[in-house]
A and B are shown apart, each in its own frame.
Chain A
Amino acid sequence: MLERTFTIKEWTEALKKLRSFYRVFAPFKEGDFHSFREFDGSGSPDFNFGNTRLSAKALIYPQSERMFDYTLDEKNPDVNLYKEAVKDLSPQAIVGIRPCDVKGFRLMKRNFDNEEYRDPWWVQRFESTILVGFGCNDPCPTCFCTSVGGGPFNEEGLDVIAYNLGERFVLRALTEKGEVFLAKAEGDTGPGEDERRKMEELKRSSVEKISSRVATDQLKLKEVNALFSAPFWEETAFSCINCGTCTFFCPTCWCFDIQDEVFGKEGDRLRNWDSCMFPLFTLHGSGHNPRENKVQRVRQRFMHKLKYYVDKYNDGVQCSGCGRCVRYCPVNIDIREVAEKMNSY
């Protein structure tokens, strides 16, 4: 497969060229943290980061998406008809995504692209996206990707993998899509012997730097009702304030809510991210709420990720080990500890 090397400057120039073929999204440092932004050709993306604060989830699955629009105007022949809203589904490249966040998309695919359902917009966006992953030289202290089937240089799901060797970036295509992308990027040929050695060294040392290990091997064997009624939920949930941080930041949380918004006679049907941590998530039209207290809601989040998903798909947990929920939970509820409790219960 095609390999190319770039200096940082050359790489920024290459991204400028690639803008003729793709909408290019890359990490930019704004204030205290990095976020994915569309590269408009000015400024330079910054590839020296742990991970972006929010994952790249929104680039395929926007926080708010206009699905349809409609009119309530009786004089309009199209009255009360839902029409698909215009969306930009043109090719895009997510450059600088971490392997855990790519894994997030793979897990999310289960929900949006399976034998029963194919979500048209998620699928189209996903299929028109090139994932140019950057391996993690220095995984964060909260990362535990290697405990959940990933790794800092894991190539699964990536179209291109990049090694950040400090002065130079080495990129290698992993799929045909990636090959086309890299061919368009032009630039130098592959790495020399010396660089290859450095790449191998990075791959090895990065795995060793991961300090968090989480055991999940027993989850599948546990009895679901026993875990559900385990005594530790109350204590686990005490500090939770039921915000949207853990689920909105999570690259694998997929839940949404559908809302109609009408202004005058014109209406939109929107799909917004939702969260099982919000009381509204399960509120019935009747006023009854089957998950009316926070202990139930906290339990749902962990049971979904670490038990229901495990049982249903038989392919590990619904978590890529990115560590965001651990880092940003304002009251320090730590999925690593909860997984440990569940696994050893």
Chain B
Amino acid sequence: MERYTEKIRERARDLLESGKVDVFIGYSKGSVPMMNRPALIREPREVNKLLWDNHCALNLCNYLTKRTEKIGIIANGCNSRNIVTHILENQIKREQLYIVGIPCEGMVDHRAVARAVGQRDILAVEGLGEEFLVKGKDFEERFTKQTFLQRNCVTCRHHNPVIYDEMIGEPVEEGELPNGYADVEAIEGMSSDKKWAFFAQLISRCIRCYACRNACPLCYCPTCFVDESKPQWVGKSSDPTDTMTFHLLRAYHCAGRCTDCGACERVCPVGISMRQFTRKLNKDGETFFSWEAGLTLEKRPPLDTYRPDDYNDFIK
């Protein structure tokens, strides 16, 4: 993976110097272990800020919305799928983008790492291959990357970018997956009351900071429904009804669009797994419409398509 860092810098420098792009968007090293910082590079001399490691799990497509310049951007599987969705939804033009594709080997779940060292303070996380090393003040522990992948990476079927101008590495193999929706099926099997209790518990610690919404490239509305005041769709207090309304509606607004990139879950400061909502919708998209978001520019997503011969009666 380290090899990608060098390549990214090289490509960013070339693209900026040749004027093919005005800016280049990638990740840079953060000041806190495992917390990378998205960066916008304007000058070739700044490209050494860029890197690629186990913690590039924020979705960079989020930073493309309505930009007007020519942009170079790095994209792995899920990010590239969001770029496709962004193009389909007119948030950015294909011609504006120079996409440097990266075959992705999955990202590390920072919470799982903190848990594994008993929430002791982590000073550094090093290593890019199969293993990584976690250093604290008076401990050093080695872990296998495969057992610390983010949950969305475990069930990922599209590690390789689906759209790019060039790839900087050989595509990784998309292995056979066991049932990726076992967790959703477990919830589907619950009674209504149990489901309600499950989701109420899931979001009980939500503080309505909206990091999950704002980290998601799909949420670009000029005014989100939770921020509308005329009419006011949802209360702004910490009342559980309003918080549930926020979560359910946010999820539905992502229906047929979510790529399960995991950015929402990664950023929640209290560790809520709100992907449980969107994953049900992703599963339904596959079951009812044979649809996975962001795989092609050739087809409109199911929820913005109308066909006169639709077999459903309610639509006629």
Question: Footprint of B on A, CB under 8 Å?
Answer: 31-33, 50, 53-54, 63-64, 138, 140-142, 235, 238-239, 241-245, 248-249, 257, 259, 261, 270, 272, 278-280, 326-334, 336-337
Contact = CB atoms under 8 A, between A and B. Distances in A.
A141 B266 CA distance: 21
Most chain A C-beta atoms within 10 Å of own C-beta, residue among B32, B207, B269, B270:
B269
Contacts of B229: 280
Given A32-B111, A64-B239, A332-B35, A241 B121 contact: no
Interface in B189-222: 207-211, 214-215
B31 A243 contact: no
A315 B78 CA distance: 48
Contact of B123 (A141, A279, A333): A141
B209 A332 contact: no
29 contacts: A32-B111, A33-B270, A50-B121, A63-B207, A63-B237, A64-B239, A138-B121, A235-B40, A238-B63, A239-B38, A241-B215, A242-B214, A244-B209, A245-B211, A248-B209, A259-B236, A261-B237, A270-B236, A272-B238, A280-B229, A326-B31, A328-B269, A330-B58, A330-B215, A330-B266, A330-B269, A332-B36, A332-B37, A334-B31
Nearest to B226: A280
Interface of B: 30-32, 35-40, 58, 62-63, 111, 114-115, 119, 121, 123, 207-211, 214-215, 223, 227, 229, 235-239, 266-267, 269-271
Contact of B121 (A33, A141, A261, A280): A141
A50 B31 CA distance: 19
Given A54-B207, A239-B37, A259 B237 contact: yes
Given A244-B207, A244-B209, A245-B209, A31 B271 contact: yes
Contact of B211 (A63, A140, A330): A330
Contact of A53 (B37, B237, B270): B270
Contacts of A142: 32
Contacts of B38: 238-239, 331
Nearest to B230: A285
Nearest to B29: A332
Contact of A332 (B30, B62, B266): B30
Majority-rule SS of A interface residues: loop
A32 B116 CA distance: 11
Nearest to B207: A248
Contacts of B32: 142, 326-327, 332, 334
A31 B266 CA distance: 16
Given A32-B111, A248-B209, A278-B227, A239 B31 contact: no
Given A32-B111, A327-B32, A331-B37, A257 B211 contact: no
Given A32-B271, A140-B121, A243 B210 contact: yes
A226 B42 CA distance: 24
Contacts of A141: 121, 123
A272 B238 CA distance: 8
